C-alpha cells in the first residue's frame, strides 16, 4: 500500500516538473526527455523485491541521471556529470557484490528482511556502503552538490527526488532499526547545515539542505520508527524537496509580488518545519518516539538540527532572494506558476491531513507545535542579530569535504597528457581542491573517531 503512495509522489513530481520545464524558454529541454526514464526506474524499484533487478534499475537511473546533468550544456556540467557517473559506478559495483553475496547465502535474489539484532552478514556491509554513496554521505557527497547545481533547474527538480529517496527506501527496507545509523545521520545533517550556512550560491545551499534532510531520515531509520511512519517521512520529503527546488528555480524569474511573498512564506515554513507543513509531522513523529524520549542528547540534537536548518535555509534563502537586485529577469510563465501552486497544495495537504495516511493521532496544536514555533522565533532572533555576516558568508571559510577516487590517477596524468581538453578543465577544478589535503585528513579523522566511539 505504501508503495502506491511513493508512486503517486513520483508521478506528481514528474508531471509538475515537466509542466515547469515546458514554460522555460531559455533552458535546454534534454533533461525533460530523460526524466521519465529516471523516475520510471525509481518507480520500478518500488515494485520489485529482487536485488539484481534493483541493481539494474540503479544503473539505468545512473545513466539517465548522467545525461540529465550533461543537459546543463556547460563544461562544468559535463565534469559534474562525469563525477556523478564515477561515484554511481562505484556504488553499483558495491551493490552488485552485495547482491551476489546475498545470493550465495540464500540461493535467491528475492530480498527477505533479515534480523539485524543477531549479527550483520557480509552482504549487509556492501549494501550499506553502496547505499551510503547513493545517500551522498559527506566524503562522497560531491556528486550531489556539483551535479544538482550544474544541470538545468528542471533537471535538478527531477534529480532531487530520484536516487537519494530510492536509497532511503532501500535503507528502510534493509536496515530499519540499526542503531549505529543514528551517528551517521547526525554527522550528515550537521555537515549539511554547517556548509549551507557558509555557502553563497542559493542552488548549492539547497543541495546542502538535501544532505541534512537525508541525515534526518537516516536518524529516523536508525531509531526505528514504524514502517508506515518512515515511509510517510520519505514521501512527504519527495514532495516538499521538489517544491523547495522549484521555488529556488523560480527565483531567477520575475514573479508577481503576491505570488513571490506566498512562495517565500511557504518556503520558510516548510524548511523550518512549522506546524501545518509535512516537516512538522516528521519532527512530531521523531519527538513522539520512545527511544528519543529516553535518549536526551538525541532529543536536543533533533531540536538543534531543526534550529540550524531554520537559520541556514528556512530564513536565509528567502532573505538572499529578497536581497537580490531585480534587474532584467524574464517574466514567469503560467505553467511554471501552476506547477508550483499544485506542489504547494500537495505539501499543505500532507501537512494538514496526515492522519489519513498515518492512521494515528497528530497533535497540530500540542507541545511539539509550541516547541517548533519557539525554535523558529529563536532562529529569527539569531538571524536578526547576525544578519550581516550570514548574508555575506562565503564558502571558503570551511574546508571542502569530499574527494574523487580517481584524484590520484589524475595527478599522475597531468604530467603526461595535459593536451586533452577534459584534463584542462579538470585541472581548473580539482587542483585547488587537491591542495587542501586537510579535507581528506579531516574526514578520515572523523571516521576513525566514530569507529573508536563505537568500539
d(CA 132, CA 308): 23
Look up residue 216 and give its three cell numbers: 534526518
Q: Does 101 bind other proteins (CB under 8 A)?
A: yes
Q: Which of 244, 375, 254, 268 is nearest to 319 (CA)?
A: 268
Q: Does 413 bind other proteins (CB under 8 A)?
A: yes
CB 45 within 8 A of CB 166: yes
Region for 119 from its dihedrals, namely left if φ exceeds 0, alpha if ψ lies in -120 to 50, beta otherwise: beta
CB count within 10 Å of CB 236 equals: 25
Options 93, 323, 374, 385; binder of other proteins; rule CB under 8 A: 93
Q: Which residue is it, cell 520558510?
A: 268
User: Which C-beta is closer to other proteins: that of 70 or that of 240?
Assistant: 70
User: Which C-beta is closer to other proteins: that of 166 or that of 350?
Assistant: 166
Residue 50, strand partner residues:
110
User: Which C-beta is closer to other proteins: that of 392 or that of 416?
Assistant: 416
Q: Does 204 bind other proteins (CB under 8 A)?
A: no
Q: Does 406 bind other proteins (CB under 8 A)?
A: yes
**Contact characters 151-180, other proteins, x per CB under 8 A:** ------------------------------
User: Which C-beta is closer to other proteins: that of 303 or that of 406?
Assistant: 406
Q: Which residue is it, cell 534534454?
A: 30
Instruction: Concatenate the DSSP letters of all residues of 73-110 into one string.
Output: -SHHHHHHHHHHHHHHHHHHHHHHHHHHHHHHHHSSSB
Q: Does 409 bind other proteins (CB under 8 A)?
A: yes
d(CA 257, CA 251): 12
User: Which C-beta is closer to other proteins: that of 54 or that of 350?
Assistant: 54
CA torsion angle 67 193 392 259 (round to 10): 70
Q: Does 90 bind other proteins (CB under 8 A)?
A: yes
**Contact characters 106-125, other proteins, x per CB under 8 A:** ----------------x---
CB count within 10 Å of CB 435 equals: 9
Q: Does 28 bind other proteins (CB under 8 A)?
A: no
Q: Does 194 bind other proteins (CB under 8 A)?
A: no
Q: Does 323 bind other proteins (CB under 8 A)?
A: no
Options 43, 96, 205, 270; binder of other proteins; rule CB under 8 A: 96
Query: What residue ranges bind other proteins (CB under 8 A)?
Result: 55-56, 59-60, 63, 70, 75, 78, 81-82, 85-86, 89-90, 93-94, 96-97, 100-101, 103-104, 122, 405-406, 409, 412-413, 416-417, 419-422
Amino acid at each position: 500500500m505504501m508503495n502506491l503512495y511513493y508512486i503517486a509522489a513520483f508521478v506528481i513530481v514528474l508531471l509538475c516538473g515537466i509542466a515547469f520545464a515546458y514554460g522555460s524558454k531559455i533552458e535546454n529541454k534534454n533533461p525533460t526527455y530523460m526524466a521519465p526514464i529516471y523516475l520510471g526506474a525509481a518507480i520500478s524499484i518500488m515494485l520489485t523485491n529482487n536485488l539484481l533487478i534493483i541493481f539494474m534499475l540503479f544503473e539505468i537511473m545512473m545513466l539517465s541521471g548522467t545525461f540529465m546533468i550533461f543537459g546543463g550544456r556547460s563544461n562544468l556540467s559535463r565534469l559534474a556529470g562525469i563525477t556523478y557517473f564515477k561515484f554511481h559506478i562505484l556504488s553499483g559495483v558495491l551493490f552488485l557484490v552485495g547482491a551476489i553475496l546475498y545470493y550465495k547465502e540464500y540461493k535467491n535474489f528475492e530480498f527477505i528482511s533479515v534480523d539485524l539484532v543477531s549479527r550483520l552478514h557480509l552482504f549487509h556491509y556492501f549494501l550499506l556502503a553502496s547505499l551510503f554513496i547513493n545517500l551522498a554521505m559527506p566524503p562522497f557527497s560531491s556528486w550531489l552538490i556539483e551535479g544538482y547545481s550544474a544541470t538545468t533547474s528542471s533537471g535538478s527538480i527531477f534529480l532531487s527526488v530520484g536516487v537519494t529517496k530510492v536509497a532511503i527506501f532501500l535503507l528502510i527496507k534493509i536496515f530499519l532499526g540499526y542503531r549505529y545509523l543514528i551517528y551517521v545521520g547526525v554527522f550528515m545533517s550537521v555537515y549539511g547545515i554547517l556548509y549551507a550556512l557558509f555557502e553563497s550560491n542559493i542552488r548549492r545551499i539547497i543541495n546542502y539542505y538535501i544532505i541534512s534532510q537525508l541525515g534526518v531520515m537516516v536518524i529516523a531509520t536508525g531509531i526505528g520508527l514504524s514502517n508506515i511512519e518512515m515511509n510517510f517521512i520519505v514521501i512527504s520529503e519527495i514532495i516538499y524537496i521538489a517544491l523547495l527546488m522549484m521555488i529556488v528555480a523560480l527565483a531567477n524569474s520575475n514573479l508577481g509580488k503576491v505570488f513571490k511573498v506566498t512562495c517565500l512564506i511557504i518556503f520558510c515554513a516548510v524548511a523550518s518545519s512549522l506546524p501545518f507543513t509535512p516537516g512538522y509531522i516528521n519532527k512530531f513523529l521523531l519527538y513522539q518516539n520512545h527511544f528519543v524520549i529516553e535518549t536526551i542528547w538525541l532529543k536536543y540534537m533533533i531540536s538543534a538540527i531543526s534550529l540550524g536548518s531554520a537559520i541556514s535555509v528556512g530564513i536565509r534563502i528567502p532573505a538572499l532572494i529578497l536581497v537580490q537586485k531585480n534587474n532584467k529577469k524574464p517574466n514567469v510563465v503560467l505553467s511554471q506558476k501552476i506547477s508550483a501552486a499544485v506542489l504547494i497544495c500537495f505539501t499543505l495537504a500532507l501537512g494538514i491531513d496526515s492522519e489519513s495516511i498515518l492512521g494515528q493521532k497528530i497533535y497540530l496544536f500540542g507541545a511539539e507545535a509550541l516547541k517548533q514555533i519557539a525554535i523558529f522565533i529563536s532562529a529569527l532572533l539569531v538571524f536578526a542579530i547576525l544578519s550581516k555576516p550570514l548574508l555575506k558568508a562565503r564558502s571558503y571559510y570551511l574546508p571542502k569535504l569530499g574527494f574523487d577516487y580517481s584524484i590520484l590517477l589524475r595527478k599522475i596524468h597531468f604530467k603526461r597528457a595535459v593536451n586533452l581538453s577534459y584534463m584542462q578543465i579538470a585541472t581548473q577544478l580539482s587542483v585547488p581542491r587537491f591542495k587542501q589535503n586537510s579535507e581528506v585528513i579531516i574526514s578520515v579523522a572523523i571516521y576513525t573517531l566514530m569507529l573508536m566511539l563505537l568500539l
